[in-house]
Amino acid sequence: MRIGLYPGTFDPVTLGHRDIIRRALALVDQLVVAVAVNRDKSPLFSLEERTAMMNQMCQALSNESKVEISVVPFENLLVDCAKENGANLLIRGLRAVSDFEYEYQMVGMNRALDPELETVFLMADAHYQPIASRLVKEVARLGGNVSDFVSQDVETALKEKYKKG
Ligand code: ADP
């Protein structure tokens, strides 16, 4: 049984993340999406909000693919989160070279902590590759149109967030 773990901050979930999840679903029997508390990054959306937006997206993807997806919060070590959820395949998305160095180090650390956990890197479709949560927030904050980058629900949530200031 192949159980994938796709961890991230997802602040907020984008169409880039969705493309990676879609691709991951073709490789696993079950997928666990782990939403990081990530206090270091001071997320715009709370853990509850990020989890709810991810759940909404995953519901549709799970119906489409018939692969079970669960969305869980996580705050501890990634390798422990994988163990707790019975995951044996770590899924990460790769964008440009800038992602590579950090991801390279992460694989090394995670492998030292748990040699059984294999990491798989996926690339989104060219159209989705430049999408980053950080830039989406920036565009939304300045009143730009983000409908090419996020789902309608997330677009509404961003508008609400920045309206409230
Ligand atoms: P993190 O804080 O772990 O970087 P993110 O929510 O920014 O969390 O990203 C989660 C994962 O999704 C990371 O592996 C990241 O590289 C990947 N990812 C994000 N956006 C894209 C994209 N547009 N194309 C491919 N991978 C992406």
Instruction: Determine whether the shortest distance from the Cβ of 18 to ligand 1 is under 6 A.
Output: no
Instruction: Determine whether the shortest distance from the Cβ of 4 to ligand 1 is under 6 A.
Output: no
**C-alpha span between 91 and 105 (Å, rounded):** 15
pTM: 0.95
Q: 10: alpha, beta or left, given left = phi > 0 and alpha = psi -120 to 50?
A: left
Classified as helix, coil or strand, 89 is strand
Assess whether 41 carries a catalytic annotation. yes
List, as one string, the DSSP characters of 25-82: HTT-SEEEEEEE--GGG--SS-HHHHHHHHHHHHHHHHHHH--EEEEEEE-S-HHHHH
Among protein residues, the one with the nearest Cα to ligand 1's atom 19 is 17
**C-alpha span between 115 and 93 (Å, rounded):** 20
Classified as helix, coil or strand, 129 is coil
pLDDT of residue 165: 62
pLDDT of residue 118: 96
pLDDT of residue 41: 78
Instruction: Determine whether the shortest distance from the Cβ of 5 to ligand 1 is under 6 A.
Output: no
Instruction: Determine whether the shortest distance from the Cβ of 28 to ligand 1 is under 6 A.
Output: no
Q: How far is the CA of 165 from the centre of ligand 1 (A)?
A: 26
Q: Are 140 and 162 in contact (CB under 8 A)?
A: yes
Q: How far is the CA of 98 from the centre of ligand 1 (A)?
A: 12
pLDDT of residue 116: 95
Give the other-Cβ count within 10 Å of 10's Cβ. Answer: 25
Spans of the chain below 70 pLDDT: 164-165
pLDDT tens column, 20-60: 999 999 999 999 999 999 878 799 999 999 999 999 999 99
pLDDT of residue 67: 96
